[in-house]
Amino acid sequence: DAGVIQSPRHEVTEMGQEVTLRCKPISGHNSLFWYRQTMMRGLELLIYFNNNVPIDDSGMPEDRFSAKMPNASFSTLKIQPSEPRDSAVYFCASSLLNEQFFGPGTRLTVL
Amino acid sequence: LAKTTQPISMDSYEGQEVNITCSHNNIATNDYITWYQQFPSQGPRFIIQGYKTKVTNEVASLFIPADRKSSTLSLPRVSLSDTAVYYCLVGDLGTDKLIFGTGTRLQVFP
């Protein structure tokens, strides 16, 4: 298995633009997680899904952030409109039995 | 979810054993203790998990005293490649949710 796949690996955009981050979890895993990591705030859990259903989105910072999981093999995290303070590395992780496997992350820079 | 406290940073030399202790005074009965490792520009990677006493795998050992209010990750004979941030997490496996703290930044010197 290729592991958790995220795209793009790097994204540079201007303030106000829409940003969509993509994640393909490991096949067979039933939980998917979106995290954000910055130097100031560390690694924060934004939202997680179980069997494609959002279970806990209490970490989503505000309404500009939304996440979907239309099927077991794909999830998106969307920021609209983006702001400079959204600049961070966004990780997607998936799990089956309590061990989370992280993707390589998407480094987002909002100018 | 129980809060964890661990040292911000540690230094070691190649070949030494490193022990990183994590404090989790409010650990609940159903909580497990899990450690992750993160290298720069990569996502965290699972190292080891335990509930009580001692757990050992090919990478590390995890020591958990009877009261479970703390745990110690032991890395035998570290090398330069063990330089990373190590996170201690406590949570109920049934919920899947993990809360990452600040972690311990381990620097291994030659």
Share of chain A above pLDDT 70, in %: 99
Which of A55, A95, A103 is closest, CB to CB, to B43? A103
A25 touches chain B (CB under 8 A): no
Residue with tokens 């490991």: A26
Q: In this predicted structure, what is the pLDDT of residue B96? A: 66
Burial class (CB in 10 A: 0-12, 13-18, 19+), A2: exposed
* Proportion of chain A above pLDDT 90, given as a percent: 84
Instruction: Return the DSSP state at A9.
Output: S
H or E segment and range at residue B54: strand B53-56
Distance CA B25, CA B4 (A): 8
**pLDDT, tens digit (0-9, with 9 covering 90-100), for A50-79:** 999 999 898 998 899 999 999 999 999 999
Residue B1 has pLDDT above 60, yes or no: no
Does the pLDDT at position A10 exceed 80? yes
B77 touches chain A (CB under 8 A): no
Instruction: Tell me how far apart the alpha carbons of residues A96 and B99 are, in angstroms, rounded to a whole number.
Output: 18
SS3 A21: strand
Closest CA to B102 of B24, B5, B12: B5
- Which of left, alpha, beta for B103 (phi over 0: left; psi -120 to 50: alpha)? left
Which of A95, A96, A93 shows the shortest CA–CA distance to A104?
A: A93
Give residue B2's pLDDT: 59
Nearest CA in chain B to A107: B41
Contact A42 B46 (CB under 8 A): no
* Over residues A82-102, mean pLDDT: 92
Q: What is the structure's pLDDT at A7?
A: 97
Q: According to the model, what pLDDT value does residue B42 have? A: 93
Q: Which of A47, A94, A98 should be substituted to probe chain B, the one whose Cβ sees the most B Cβ atoms within 10 Å?
A: A98
- Judged against a pLDDT cut of 80, whether residue B92 lies above it is answered with no
Q: Do B43 and A50 touch (CB under 8 A)?
A: no
User: d(Cα B14, Cα A39) in Å, to the nearest integer?
Assistant: 27
Q: What is the pLDDT of residue A98?
A: 75
Q: Does B8 touch chain A (CB under 8 A)?
A: no
Confidence of residue B97 (pLDDT cuts 50, 70, 90): confident
Burial class (CB in 10 A: 0-12, 13-18, 19+), A6: buried
Name beta bridge partners: B80. Answer: none
Buried b (16+ CB within 10 A) or exposed e, B10-32: bebeeeeebebbbbbeebeeebb
- pLDDT tens digits, one per residue of B35-90: 999 999 899 999 999 999 899 999 999 999 999 999 999 999 999 999 999 999 98
Mean pLDDT over each residue of chain B, to the nearest integer: 92
